[in-house]
Structure 1
Amino acid sequence: MRKVKYYYDSETLSYRKIERKRSRKIAIILAFSVGILGTSALLLLLYLNIPGIETPKERKYKRELTNMQLQYDILNKRVGNLVGVLENIEERDNKIYRVYFESNPISEEQRQSGFGGVNRYEMLEGYQNSELIKSTTRKIDILSKRISIQSESLDDIAKLAKNKEELLASIPAIQPINNKDLKRTASGYGMRVHPIYKYRRMHNGMDFSAPRGTEIYATGNAVVKKVRLTPGYGNLVILDHGFGYETYYAHMNKFNVKKGQKVKRGDIIGYVGSTGVSTGPHLHYEVHKDGRVMNPINFYHADLTPEEYDIMFNLSSLENQSLD
């Protein structure tokens, strides 16, 4: 309870209550309010400028920023791991797959092309962590580009593999007649004495002696290019294997195919005879590559062991008399 104050009035010779003036009350209230506001402003100024003192909102933003930096660090590590895996795939692509399929490797410049000169990340500048964001974004963009190039490369390799599979199935790779004991190898490729003309001349194939009617096999997948009777080769079949390969089968007794027919390795295309310029039943076999005559001895890899190949090589190398 507020104390009541009195004063002595000498005129009335009595005590009178002291009454506060209204203006004084207002002045006191104003002074008190100004004091509070000034003190609050001073305290706020001190609060905002004293190191280490943060508002709740600032603490929230700092936590979010710290979490973002942590997430970017984790993302950078994951990107680094993915780059390592991709580099391994790229190396295998260049040094194994493309070498096997006889294709040129992709250069490092091609794999990382398109990331020089222009500032792609200008819109990411001006922030507190711009460098971190720009660096991570650039790594992801480069990784995406390299993955895209590698994906296209694997598509190319798939096509090369398909072509390689077709090549391996088409290339001449077996003997044209059944010759397991190799005793039917009569004459090889090279300079030989002609049985009729009796002088040395180039013999462009290999002769396999066999009874009339012995089965003759296609040595690789092919399309029958020619089936006809010729003056020198007699009954002749020419197979087009694709990839520049052709095989000739001469002096046949009878055909078992017709022009334009597709055949697979091991299919019977005819039978041994002695037609044309020939001294006895046998098969004259030739291999051509890009229009050039090749030594057939190099095309039995699917049919002979290394030991059998050595035996056949020695037999075919003898400069004896050919059968045609």
Structure 2
Amino acid sequence: MSKIKYYYDTETCKYERVKIKKSDVVINALGFLSLSMVIAVGMVFVLSTYFASPKETALIRENEELKLYYDLMQEQVASMDDMLDVLQEKDDHVYRTVFEAEPIPQTIREAGSGGALKYRNLLESDLANKDLVVGTLNKIDKVKKKIYIQTKSYDEVMELARNKEDYYAAMPAMQPVSNKELRRLSSGFGRRTDPILKVKKMHYGTDFSAERGTPIYATADGTITKARKDFSGLGHHIKIDHGFGFETLYGHMSRFAVKVGQKVKRGDVIGYVGNTGKSTAPHLHYEVHVKGKAVNPINYFYQDLTAEEYEELLRLSSIENQSLGSYSNR
């Protein structure tokens, strides 16, 4: 119940009842409402500024979790990148070096994969952290590119490894006749005195003195490309194509144990020592050709020889003596 107010009227010397106008009531009500609204807006402002709502609190917590996962993802990408760098280092300086292959150029290893243009739609979107997302995607793309290149490199190294086995099998790596005491090497590669013309001429192989009928061995895997019976020059001789640019020639043989087109393995008997052609004594004239050029066979005699035995063969082959055959019609 509202309180009735009075005032003292000096003219009537009486207390008169205060009469409130409707306009005053309206003004007072509007004033109260205005003050209430100002206070309410202020409270909402303070609450929204300094206190988070439950929904905002949940979003803040979710963002913190996403940031944590993002940091973990960044660390994993960086770790993968570091591991790939180690693999690339080993690939270029160990594996590819062993198989005599050129390292992969850094320009290829570090080639891009589209860059920002690849994510143009994402950059043009309204995503709040689009730069962060695009940066991470670019890092992942680079790692994926490195993985792809490294995988292809390992495929190449594996192929080189398989070829290397074939390469070593094709290399003339043993002496063509049994020479355990190293005494059968009678004349080496280089300028030697021709036994018939008595002048120094280029001797394109190595001569092994041996009794007639001594077995002659293929010095590497290959295919017989020539088995020719001749009565001059090299006499009865055989040529083997080993692949990878290697060819070997065996001259002055007495007879053959193989035929043209036959495949042989290192150590197979291909014929026997003789004295055919321009030969002054039973012996084997042996040549090694690499990509069509005659080279010193002694450089390939490494199988079943100790370092000391190899040094002795080098010494014997370097003696400028007389060869056992003449090749004026070569």
Unaligned stretches of 5+ in structure 2? 2-25, 326-330
Q: Which moved more, 1:279-288 or 1:115-124?
A: 115-124
1:300 and 2:298 matched: no
Q: Deviations over 1:277-316 (max 9, x none)?
A: 1112111100011111101110112232221111111111
Matches within 5 A, 1:1-324: 42=41, 45-46=44-45, 48-51=47-50, 53-115=51-113, 118-125=116-123, 126-230=126-230, 231-324=232-325
Aligned-pair distance for 1:45? Answer: 2.7
Give the Cα separation in 1 of the matches to 2:49 and 2:257.
103
SS of 1:278's equivalent in the other structure is coil
Give the Cα separation in 1 of the matches to 2:135 and 2:42.
43
Aligned-pair distance for 1:70? Answer: 0.6
Percent of matched pairs sharing the same residue = 46
Aligned-pair distance for 1:247? Answer: 0.3
Aligned-pair distance for 1:119? Answer: 2.8
Aligned-pair distance for 1:48? Answer: 5.0
Give the Cα separation in 1 of the matches to 2:39 and 2:270.
109
Aligned-pair distance for 1:242? Answer: 0.8
- Tell me which amino acid in the other structure corresponds to 2:44: L
Q: Deviations over 1:135-190 (max 9, x none)?
A: 22111110001110111111111112222221111011110111111011111111
Q: Deviations over 1:78-121 (max 9, x none)?
A: 11111111001111111122222222211211112134665333
Contact 2:115 / 2:138 at 8 angstroms: preserved in 1?
no
- Tell me which amino acid in the other structure corresponds to 1:167: Y
SS of 1:182's equivalent in the other structure is coil
Aligned-pair distance for 1:124? Answer: 3.6
Q: Deviations over 1:43-65 (max 9, x none)?
A: 773365332x1111111111111
Structure 1-normalised TM-score? Answer: 0.84
Give the Cα separation in 1 of the matches to 2:92 and 2:65.
40
Contact 1:253 / 1:273 at 8 angstroms: preserved in 2?
yes
- Tell me which amino acid in the other structure corresponds to 1:60: A
Aligned-pair distance for 1:40? Answer: 10
Give the Cα separation in 2 of the matches to 1:286 and 1:172.
10
Give the Cα separation in 2 of the matches to 1:280 and 1:113.
66
Contact 1:175 / 1:303 at 8 angstroms: preserved in 2?
no
SS of 1:106's equivalent in the other structure is coil
- Tell me which amino acid in the other structure corresponds to 1:289: V
Residue 20 of structure 1: aligned partner: none
Give the Cα separation in 2 of the matches to 1:261 and 1:67.
73
Contact 2:96 / 2:102 at 8 angstroms: preserved in 1?
yes
- Tell me which amino acid in the other structure corresponds to 2:49: I
RMSD: 2.4
Unaligned stretches of 5+ in structure 1? 4-26
Count of matched residue positions in the alignment of Structure 1 and Structure 2: 293
Aligned-pair distance for 1:196? Answer: 2.2
Structure 2-normalised TM-score? Answer: 0.82
- Tell me which amino acid in the other structure corresponds to 1:128: A
SS of 1:119's equivalent in the other structure is helix
Distance 1:117 1:130, change over 3 A: closer
Aligned-pair distance for 1:134? Answer: 2.1
Give the Cα separation in 1 of the matches to 2:49 and 2:247.
92
Distance 1:118 1:46, change over 3 A: closer
- Tell me which amino acid in the other structure corresponds to 1:83: D
Give the Cα separation in 2 of the matches to 1:290 and 1:141.
44
